[in-house]
Amino acid sequence: MRIIKVKNYEKISHSAANVIAAQILLKPDLVLGLATGSSPIGIYEELVKKHQLWDLDFSEVRTVNLDEYCGMEAEDLQSYHYFMRKHLFDKVNLKLENVHLPDGKASDIAEECVNYDAMIRKLGGIDLQLLGIGRNGHIGFNEPSDSFPLGTHCVKLTSSTIEANQRFFGSTGEVPRQAITMGIGSIMKARRILLVASGKDKAEAIREMLTGPITPKHPASVLQLHPDAVLIGDEEALSDY
Ligand code: GLP
């Protein structure tokens, strides 16, 4: 994994947005895998600026998001659908028919998962997948487990993730208990991976990801096997490495 160490969150956002913009310039119909959480917000702000000030063109870009909470309507303020509209989709010239997220309200979740993987295959696979990392090493919503899940699937969130994500809700009781997420297999098939991590509370997860054993107990450790994975981390996130 290539490691780019920068000073702080602002510099991560700037560098990662530059990487994404370069990919869009080189391949205007890029299939871009997107993430949610606080880590990518600054990147999306930078991409919006590049669109507004420098005409970065998203008109042919296709996007696929990693995950969505089960039971969430797209209009729910805490849904990842809403998050993506607020931070990126409504602010650049992406075509709505080109953006894809799992449907957390699907009546048949198993079928939704199969269809989501089929849709990614139909797009030709992911060119660049943006990732954050959970404090327990989860990527997307692939929580620590006994095996690496391959395709898109439904997961039960761990108490550590529920606690970490409660800041986006009123209380832990309001955080959904389940989510649909791309599997580790889907993520690993992306031709390039860009993981961003900021802050001291990610330092242990980053150290384990880079130097620990490759194990589903720390899902991000699988990225050691990816041929083109890049980490952009700040001094705090890389402080234990
Ligand atoms: C959620 C998302 C992940 C994200 C993680 C870390 O669990 N499903 O994709 O990487 O949060 O979020 P943050 O960037 O807010 O620390």
pLDDT score at 30: 98
Active site residue 138: yes
From the CA of 181, give the closest atom in ligand 1.
8
Question: With contact defined as beta carbons under 8 Å apart, do 127 and 23 qualify?
Answer: yes
97 C-alpha to ligand 1 centroid (Å): 25
Tell me which residue has tokens 């990662």: 16
pTM of the prediction? 0.96
Strand (E) or helix (H) holding 161: helix 159-165
Active site residue 136: yes
Q: Which residue, 220, 72, 79, is CA-closest to 142?
A: 220
Per-residue pLDDT of the chain (241 residues; tens, 9 = 90+): 999 999 999 999 999 999 999 999 999 999 999 999 999 999 999 999 999 999 999 999 999 999 999 999 999 999 999 999 999 999 999 999 999 999 999 999 999 999 999 999 999 999 999 999 999 999 999 999 999 999 999 999 989 889 988 988 888 999 999 999 999 999 999 999 999 999 999 999 999 999 999 999 999 999 999 999 999 999 999 999 8
For residue 92, what are the CA distances in angstroms to 41, 46, 85? 14, 11, 10
Tokens coding 234 = 């700040």
From the CA of 201, give the closest atom in ligand 1.
16
Residue 165 main-chain phi, psi, to 5 deg = -90, -5
95 C-alpha to ligand 1 centroid (Å): 25
34 C-alpha to ligand 1 centroid (Å): 11
Task: Determine if ligand 1 sits within 6 Å of the CB of residue 221.
Answer: no
Residue nearest to atom 6 of ligand 1 (CA): 134
Task: Determine if ligand 1 sits within 6 Å of the CB of residue 165.
Answer: yes
User: How many Cβ atoms from other residues are within 10 Å of residue 160's Cβ?
Assistant: 14
Question: With contact defined as beta carbons under 8 Å apart, do 116 and 180 qualify?
Answer: yes
Question: CA 68, CA 128: separation in Å to the nearest integer?
Answer: 19
**Three-state helix/strand/coil letters over 173-225:** HHCCCEEEECCHHHHHCCCEEEEEECCHHHHHHHHHHHHCCCCCCCHHHHHHH
Task: Determine if ligand 1 sits within 6 Å of the CB of residue 129.
Answer: no
Strand (E) or helix (H) holding 153: strand 153-156
User: b/e for 15-49, b at 16 or more Cβ within 10 A?
Assistant: bbbebbbebbeeeeebbbbbbbbebbbbbbbbbbe
Q: Residue 172: which residues within 8 A CB-CB, separation 6 or more? A: 162, 163, 166
Q: What is the dihedral of CA 38, 41, 42, 44, to 10 degrees?
A: 160
Q: Which residue, 225, 220, 150, 138, is CA-closest to 185?
A: 150
**Of 65, 98, 136, 142, which one is the catalytic site residue?**
136
Residue 158 DSSP class? P
Strand (E) or helix (H) holding 231: strand 229-234
Task: Determine if ligand 1 sits within 6 Å of the CB of residue 42.
Answer: no
Residue nearest to atom 3 of ligand 1 (CA): 140
pLDDT score at 160: 87
118 C-alpha to ligand 1 centroid (Å): 24
